């Protein structure tokens, strides 16, 4: 089956990044930060490429972001995406991202829309579900396996005490996790071809804002460890009760 797949990608800080904030803790400080393609989105992209290899299908990646996200988009093209769309606006929140992607998807019919299970910066895991609602399509997260047979997909996800296998008609939206595919490493041919692949910039649609960031804060530093002599369990119990307040 010749498939047309849309993959949503995020531009996120590398996990080794030291997080700081500016403007009275209201803005993330991007100075010196290395940004990468969100790992869960990379899994979704790898599976999309596998599903279209050899049958003439296409994989479009879409990102909501400013011009500084284009290196990440070009990496997705180097991995094997056919073309790319950048919605020209900062990713305000999950609702804003889902709405922008949905507006584009409504005008361009896709057989399958994939997202990562979540972005590693905010870990919200909201976009896939919102997309399904906005597009009036079935939506399933978090999937560990995805197979296509004709106009029908079989997905697998983990649930409490076992696995759940679902059969879903195309088109639908899925949030992918580990196991769906192994991320692909761009080769030299892919890197060179990415320079000439289409990257279309689209202006954002107007959308009402429902959330506002008041401030950010980092977790409190870890306190010092208190050592209790093995022969004094009563002191340990007292500390757990009076200081740790866990019993």
- Residue 234 lies inside a defined structural domain of this protein: no
Q: What is the CATH number of the domain that holds 63?
A: 3.40.50.620
**157-172 pLDDT, tens digit each:** 988 889 999 999 999 9
Residue 100 · residue 207 · CB < 8 Å: yes
At residue 225, the pLDDT reads 85
- Residue 28 lies inside a defined structural domain of this protein: yes
**58-109 pLDDT, tens digit each:** 999 999 999 999 999 999 999 999 999 999 999 989 999 999 999 999 999 9
Total domains, the chain: 1
At residue 94, the pLDDT reads 93
At residue 199, the pLDDT reads 95
- Residue 235 lies inside a defined structural domain of this protein: no
- Residue 231 lies inside a defined structural domain of this protein: no
Residue numbers of the domain that contains 80:
4-217
Cα–Cα distances (Å) from 220 to 90, 121, 183, 198, 237, in that order, read 29, 18, 34, 45, 24
At residue 204, the pLDDT reads 95
Q: What is the mean pLDDT of each run of 10 residues along the chain (247 residues)?
A: 92 88 88 92 96 89 96 96 96 93 95 94 90 96 93 92 93 94 89 92 92 85 85 90 86
At residue 189, the pLDDT reads 87
- Residue 198 lies inside a defined structural domain of this protein: yes
pTM of the complete model: 0.86
Separation of alpha carbons 11 and 59, rounded Å: 18
- Residue 243 lies inside a defined structural domain of this protein: no
- Residue 237 lies inside a defined structural domain of this protein: no
- Residue 120 lies inside a defined structural domain of this protein: yes
Tell me the Cα Rg of the chain: 22
At residue 168, the pLDDT reads 95
């Amino acid at each position: 089956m010749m498939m047309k797949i849309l993959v949503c990608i995020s531009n996120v800080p590398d996990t080794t990044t030291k997080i700081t904030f500016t403007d009275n803790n209201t803005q993330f400080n991007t100075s010196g930060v290395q940004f990468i393609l969100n790992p869960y989105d990379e899994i979704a992209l790898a599976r999309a490429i596998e599903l279209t290899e050899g049958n003439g299908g296409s994989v479009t990646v879409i990102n909501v972001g400013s011009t500084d996200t284009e290196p990440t988009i070009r990496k997705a093209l180097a991995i094997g995406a056919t073309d790319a769309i950048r919605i020209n606006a900062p990713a305000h929140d999950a609702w804003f991202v889902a709405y922008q992607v949905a507006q584009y998807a409504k005008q361009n019919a896709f057989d399958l829309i994939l997202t990562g299970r979540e972005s590693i910066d905010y870990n919200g895991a909201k976009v896939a579900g919102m997309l399904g609602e906005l597009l009036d399509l079935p939506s399933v997260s978090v999937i560990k396996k995805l197979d296509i047979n004709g106009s029908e997909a079989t997905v697998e996800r983990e649930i409490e005490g076992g696995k759940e296998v679902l059969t879903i008609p195309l088109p639908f939206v899925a949030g992918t996790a580990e196991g769906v595919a192994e991320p692909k490493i761009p080769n030299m041919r892919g890197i060179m071809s990415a320079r000439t692949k289409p990257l279309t910039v689209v202006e954002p649609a107007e959308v009402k804002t429902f959330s506002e960031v008041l401030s950010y804060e980092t977790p409190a530093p870890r306190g010092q460890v208190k050592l209790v002599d093995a022969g004094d369990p009563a002191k340990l119990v007292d500390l757990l009760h009076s200081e740790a307040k866990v019993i």
